[in-house]
Structure 1
Amino acid sequence: MAKTTRGSCFVVVALLAITHLCICEALLSQKEQDKVTKLPGQNFNVDFAHYSGFVTTNEKLGRALFYWFFEAADDAASKPLVLWLNGGPGCSSVAFGEAEEIGPFHIKSDGKTLYLNQYSWNQAANILFLDAPVGVGYSYSNTSSDLRSNGDKRTAQDSLKFLLKWVERYPEYKGREFYIVGESYAGHYIPQLSQAIVRHNKASGDNTINLKGYMVGNGLMDDFHDRLGLFQYIWSLGFISDQTYSLLKLQCGFESFIHSSKACDKIQEIADKEIGNIDQYSVFTPACIANASQTKMLLKKRPRTSRVSEQYDPCTEKHSKVYFNLPEVQEALHVPPGLAPSKWDTCSDVVNEHWKDCSSSVLNIYHELIAAGLRIWVFSGDADAVVPVTATRYSIDALNLRPLSPYGPWYIDGQVGGWTQQYAGLNFVTVRGAGHEVPLHRPKEALALFKAFISGTPLSTPESNISKDMSDLVSDS
């Protein structure tokens, strides 16, 4: 009897080993299937590999998120893994993060030709772009009601499931140093996902996703302070009247950014008319004239953005709409015809307009994650009239963190790149002249900022007596 048991155990172990081997081979083959060989309009070669495809986050309902992953241009095995997220809610990280901000491949004005971004962040890290939640970009669900029931909580949980499955497909990144970076409504996504990862790791004892920190740019943090800072910013620049400024504070001061009242919406429409046809995401650069007749809400409807390349083009978003709707591009990115949206768009109105739960503040999550020891940086382009630098400063002040350094300039190539201050648990950085999408208008400065963040080193600041001068001023008073 004992002999039969041992024989049975041997068979079971052998079967398990074979099953494990088959699973590993299947996972490896899936990774290879996701490899992108060459893209339409790419008339240049690159030295790094990149992959794109889908990861299912809910088998029963058929929810699957689309990703595009770029290995670091040099020595990828030693570089950290970085997840980039755009916001909206409802906007594509592929459309903005990859195609006009930090990704290697940007799109020319013909909408069909690519050029290499010399300030791509994969010079310093392995970069993973994720379109979340479902309904954004190529991400989809087989359950149509999913597109009308997205919200903060499910987005965080689906993104966590995505990461856990993604590292199974790419096992070399298990335990790799990992960071999350993004902008705008990702000011919610990033701390919420970071919190989900930290809690998952603690509960499971598993450090497969080795989260070290996150960085948020021009991100929503707290509805009250975000609105207060926004109204003050556009008024201080002379964009709106005193009366409208007063009404904005009265009607919208305590409203949610996503679910506001009719009275708040109405005064925002008046504010938009007073502001006129400027790009509120980059207030000192030309607007796209093609969209001059379209009235925009301050946040909920995204105006066309601008891009700095060889020749300035304020209508850059339309190039992504052309490129990512091309069947040959979708084929190259492994999007089957049956899964491709009837019309790919940079942002989904359906997702935005049917957003469910939306936290009024994420400042409590900051406190939790600061206590957990994460590296946290917050940066702000100072030419953004959507989530402006004033809003970010109000939110940071509300955290009541102890300053560790004086407020002062940081430099790049001998010029002021912006201003910075270090707090206990958080670094705050501004980028001079940048709009809502900092890497788009100040790509060189943004890359320098990113390198400083992932290395944990301060930005270049001059030797100064700011701290001593401040101490003398305080003692004199």
Structure 2
Amino acid sequence: MSRMASLQFFLLILFLCSLSSFITLTEPSNTYSQTKEFDRITNLPGQPTTPPISQFSGYITVNQDHGRALFYWFFESQSEPLEKPLLLWLNGGPGCSSIGNGAAVELGPLLVKKKGDALEFNNYAWNREANLLFVESPVGVGFSYTNTSSDLTKLDDRFVAEDAYSFLVNWMEKFPQFKSHDFYISGESYAGHYVPQLAELVYDRNKDKTNYPVINLKGFIVGNPETEDNYDYHGLLDYAWSHAIISDQVYEKAKQVCNFKLINWMDECNTAMEVVFQQYQEIDIYNIYAPRCLLNNTTSSTDDVLDAQISASFHKDGSKKGLRWPRIPGGYDPCYTKYAEKYFNRNDVRLSLHANPNGKWEVCNESILRTYNYTVLSILPIYIKLIKAGLKIWVYSGDADGRVPVTGTRYWLEAIGLPLKASWRSWYHNHQVGGRIVEYEGLTFVTVRGAGHLVPLNKPSESVSLIHSYLSGEKL
């Protein structure tokens, strides 16, 4: 080989080596980008063309051995996504979808339109204030699934919290740019259990840096939250009487025979409370001043759900299981759940969302309502613990909700016995009273005037002011 040929061969080897080094250095970034980009939504049926929305959806495995995976829908903040906090939203039930309620009806940037044939942009979406993450939890809800059927018989608050924590850890591996962001947890209804319990789990495991990653948890905010059975049911009964839902006689009878501190109610209490619940079959318990859905001129979803709730609440021997209700709330359009179910059962929608194409998608899974193991009666010890830990904690209530009414929430807030920081007063929105606010040491409580169980649905503009104030620290 000539000297020139030898030099050319040497330069070729040097070039190939440098190219190999370049590939090795850049491969992890490419692999990460492809993994995340697989979940990017590029063509959601019926989505408006403007404004542009950066969104992702898909599955995060939470238990490899059992084949459990939770479905998520994530929207980057409309501005400064690399600077804004990360906000997780959970719906309750147990058994109701955060996609079908929170994302597509309440506070997401894309809302299902009437008749379920398209989407419309939500000018009051919470991703104006944060990067917004929805997850369908627990398994069996919405598109989330398990390959181990026995998992569905083990669902309780601890099970849900563990899976939600695993979801967070694994989701942040897919989206590592958000690991360092301030992280907040939010939700409504039975998420009054889910949210504080997940916050406690994150808080505890953050202290064990050897075995767990650090999640930058700053606080949580919950709306119309189920919190403490005794106070919640006392509040439900008092609210029904004070808002002219039930008669004096029904109210006095229930007060006389019911001890809501008991795990299993006495037969006389079961009978008395069934009469209370039946009065709500004529109206919407989740928004007592809202119209009911009259689609098809048949019994409304509220009727069907109340019947299921009453029958699911008792053992065969008549003893109380613990009355828990899925969230089928009302609002400006009380038929929205039917529209959401029509949209998310479309094959083209499922394909765009990277969701399982098989099975029926429902806003609320009633079988979970019937089989869920209600093992926790009070969340108050968690509040006391996390208030001492210095987390930022807000509670808000739509004051037209009969299911988890403002009265019950005020009862348990009083029971905690927190020192008063700023007294009860009005807050204003567009020069009108938006509600009331009271600040305790370590916790803020806000009411939203005229809103039902789903505050962002009934009062969207007020709800954005609420979450802006919570996240930014600016006064309402």
- TM-score, reference length from structure 1: 0.87
Task: Letter of the 1:151 partner, please give it.
Answer: D
Q: For 1:260 and 1:104, how far apart are their aligned partners in 2?
A: 43
Equivalences for residues 46-195 of structure 1 within 5 A: 46-195=51-200
Residues 56 and 234 from structure 1, CA distance in 2 versus in 1: closer, same or farther, beyond 3 angstroms?
same
Percent identity of the aligned residues? 43
Residues 44 and 81 from structure 1, CA distance in 2 versus in 1: closer, same or farther, beyond 3 angstroms?
same
Residue 408 (structure 1) aligns with: 425
Q: Return 38-47 or 117-126, whichever deviates more.
A: 38-47
Residue 254 (structure 1) aligns with: 261
1:427 aligns with 2:465: no
In structure 1, the residue corresponding to 2:69 is in which secondary structure? strand
Preserved CA contact (<8 Å) 2:57 2:72: yes
Residue 338 (structure 2) aligns with: 318
Q: For 1:369 and 1:24, how far apart are their aligned partners in 2?
A: 37
Q: For 2:230 and 2:24, how far apart are their aligned partners in 1?
A: 54
Residues 110 and 21 from structure 1, CA distance in 2 versus in 1: closer, same or farther, beyond 3 angstroms?
same
Q: CA deviation at 1:253?
A: 1.7
Q: For 2:379 and 2:325, how far apart are their aligned partners in 1?
A: 22
Preserved CA contact (<8 Å) 1:272 1:295: no
2:330 to 306, 319, 329: 306
Q: CA deviation at 1:227?
A: 0.7
Q: CA deviation at 1:269?
A: 2.9
Residue 395 (structure 1) aligns with: 412
Equivalences for residues 231-310 of structure 1 within 5 A: 231-249=237-255, 250-251=257-258, 253-255=260-262, 264-290=269-295, 291-292=299-300, 294=304, 296=306, 297=309, 300-302=324-326, 304-308=328-332
Residues 114 and 348 from structure 1, CA distance in 2 versus in 1: closer, same or farther, beyond 3 angstroms?
same
Q: CA deviation at 1:364?
A: 0.5
In structure 2, the residue corresponding to 1:406 is in which secondary structure? strand
Q: For 2:262 and 2:57, how far apart are their aligned partners in 1?
A: 39
Residue 402 (structure 2) aligns with: 385
Task: Letter of the 2:345 partner, please give it.
Answer: N
Q: CA deviation at 1:109?
A: 1.5
Preserved CA contact (<8 Å) 1:223 1:255: no
Q: CA deviation at 1:301?
A: 4.2
Q: Deviations over 1:263-282 (max 9, x none)?
A: 55443332233344111100
In structure 2, the residue corresponding to 1:66 is in which secondary structure? strand
In structure 2, the residue corresponding to 1:420 is in which secondary structure? strand
Task: Letter of the 2:55 partner, please give it.
Answer: H
- TM-score, reference length from structure 2: 0.87
Residue 206 (structure 2) aligns with: 201
Q: CA deviation at 1:343?
A: 1.0
Q: CA deviation at 1:57?
A: 0.5
Structure 1 residues not aligned, in runs of 5+: 1-16, 460-477
Structure 2 residues not aligned, in runs of 5+: 1-21, 311-322
- For the aligned residue pairs, the C-alpha RMSD in angstroms reads 2.2
Q: Deviations over 1:197-250 (max 9, x none)?
A: 000100126664100010010001111011111110001111112332234342
Preserved CA contact (<8 Å) 2:327 2:364: no
Q: For 1:19 and 1:255, how far apart are their aligned partners in 2?
A: 63
In structure 2, the residue corresponding to 1:408 is in which secondary structure? strand
Q: Deviations over 1:390-418 (max 9, x none)?
A: 01001111111000011110011111000
Q: CA deviation at 1:111?
A: 0.9
Preserved CA contact (<8 Å) 1:90 1:135: yes
Number of equivalent positions: 435
1:224 aligns with 2:233: no
Preserved CA contact (<8 Å) 2:87 2:130: yes
Q: Return 189-198 or 21-30, whichever deviates more.
A: 21-30
Task: Letter of the 1:388 partner, please give it.
Answer: P
